[in-house]
A and B are shown apart, each in its own frame.
Chain A
Amino acid sequence: MTARLELVSDDHDGERELARLASSGDERAFERLYHAHAGRVFALCLRMSGTRQRATELTQDVFVQVWKRLASWRGESALSSWIYRLAVNLVLSNVRGEKRRHTHEVSEDQSTEMGQGLSHMDTAEARPASVPDAIDLERAIAALPPGARTVFVLHDVEGFDHRQIGEMLGVSDGTSKSQLHRARMRLREMLADRRATAESA
């Protein structure tokens, strides 16, 4: 896992004790663990799924799984990393299910097409932008196509590298890079549109 993920909890001993209590059935200890980690897990679920309703359902699923599997956490990694990895796997598994249903599978062929699909940016005007507002950014992330959103969140928000993302998604590093670039260019476009709309209003 990345450096970002290791910063969550400084009190490893306290967290280890809470995990021990929770794994033996102490719901109050588990509730404290929930409150310590729910914000990051919910944010991941929200950004990956794109809707609050789905994020709520996924967050519930993640913590039910944490409760069931907590006894298997041996403490080799930080609990935050363990929970987060579990969350990523569960969300990705869900995202893959969604893609199968909606035929949005990330494939090598598609990634090539995505690279070609960026040609319209050749003629785009260079529009110097201010740093995007966090709310605008969250909205724009939610509006990304599912495949590009997944790679963007994993790389730019969660800090995974292209090799790790490739392994998680079952695609090549190159596909991950193409998806990321596609996502960033799409975000740039959406944020510029929002800015233009705001300025004209």
Chain B
Amino acid sequence: MTAPTCREIQPELSLLVDSRLRADVEVRVREHLGGCAVCRGVLADLDRLRRATRDIGPITPPDHVWLQIAGNLRLSESSAAPAPSPHRARAPIWQWAGLAAALVLVTVALYLAQRIQRTPPAEPAPAQASSTAPSGSVDAIADELNLAAAHYERALAELEALAKTSASPVDAAVATEVRDSLSAIDLAIAESRAALASNPQSEPARDSLFDALRRKITVLQTTVSLINEMRSGDPEGAQRAAETLGKKS
């Protein structure tokens, strides 16, 4: 019986590292190792690699992943059908960036809307508490909305960049429509916020802010469908969505 070569022995070294080698094979492998520095080196490396791999652990996902999951859950609940999985179909990265940013903002806006709804109406209470609570909520809302809006602005810029390079006039119209709609709503949000800051007890100002936020959510949800239409290469569908945007804003 001829002595095994390195080529025959090396595939067995992984099993040796895992203590999964049959006893008779192990005897042959160890005999070879006794006279072969190359295979001893390979075995030592595989053993180090095995130990190092045991030590690698969990990796924290980016913060926005939860927001996107929450947005997906809410969208699928509201449509009574599972939201389309973002990776099923291949799409240019800008489209998913836009969709993801829109979902983030929809989610944040939904949170905000719920928080506003949960804010208790003005009622007899210690003067300090009743005057600071709504104001604090508005500040928190402003911070979160600004953060979310920054995400959306980036997505919108990408949408515009595409519109400029695309031969389709629909894309340019879509980008303009979305921006105009959002500008009008943002103005309403800013006015309502200013009114609330000067009079935190003002129910009309609160209602107005809530209404503007709801409109922004609607525009963004429509924008998500619009992006989907563009992704699927349906300019007519995108045009219809753009027209809907005009009506909803």
Q: Taking beta carbons and an 8 Å cutoff, which residues of A are in contact with B? A: 27, 30-31, 34-35, 38-40, 42-43, 46, 52-61, 63-64, 67-68, 94, 115, 118-119, 121-132, 134, 137-138, 156-157, 177-178, 180-181, 184-185, 187-188, 191-192
Contact = CB atoms under 8 A, between A and B. Distances in A.
B118 interface: no
Contacts of A126: 37-42, 44
Contacts of A192: 45
B65 interface: yes
Contacts of B49: 132, 137, 184, 187-188, 191
B124 interface: no
Contact of A128 (B44, B59, B76): B44
Contacts of A180: 14
A57 B52 contact: no
B241 to A, nearest CB: 23
Q: How large is the interface on B (under 10, 10 to 19, 20 to 34, 35 or more residues)?
A: 35 or more
B135 interface: no
A42 B48 contact: no
B14 A177 contact: yes
B128 interface: no
Contacts of A31: 66, 70
A30 B72 CA distance: 13
A180 B11 CA distance: 10
Contact of A34 (B57, B69, B93): B69
A127 B41 CA distance: 6
24 contacts: A31-B66, A38-B65, A46-B59, A53-B93, A55-B61, A56-B61, A56-B62, A56-B65, A57-B85, A59-B65, A122-B5, A126-B37, A126-B38, A126-B39, A126-B41, A126-B42, A126-B44, A132-B48, A137-B53, A137-B56, A180-B14, A185-B10, A188-B49, A191-B49
A110 B31 CA distance: 30
Contacts of B73: 27, 30, 64, 67
Interface in B197-215: none
A182 B19 CA distance: 18
Given A34-B69, A54-B87, A125 B41 contact: yes
Contact of A61 (B7, B41, B52, B85): B85
A119 B7 contact: yes
A1 to B, nearest CB: 16
**A-B pairs with lowest CB-CB distance, top 6:** A126-B41, A39-B58, A42-B61, A57-B87, A181-B14, A43-B59
B7 A122 contact: yes
B69 A63 contact: yes
Interface in B1-40: 5-7, 10-11, 13-15, 37-40
Contact of A124 (B38, B56, B57): B38
B188 interface: no
A68 B51 CA distance: 37
Given A42-B65, A58-B87, A126-B38, A134 B14 contact: no
Interface in B176-203: none
B60 interface: yes
A119 B210 CA distance: 69
A12 to B, nearest CB: 19
A115 B11 contact: yes
A40 to B, nearest CB: 5
A157 B49 CA distance: 11
Contacts of A43: 56-59
A57 B61 CA distance: 11
Contacts of B48: 129-132
Nearest to B62: A56
Nearest to A34: B66
B58 A64 contact: no
Nearest to B68: A60
B136 interface: no
Contacts of A53: 93
Contact of B69 (A52, A64, A137, A178): A64
Given A31-B70, A121-B42, A180-B14, A134 B52 contact: yes
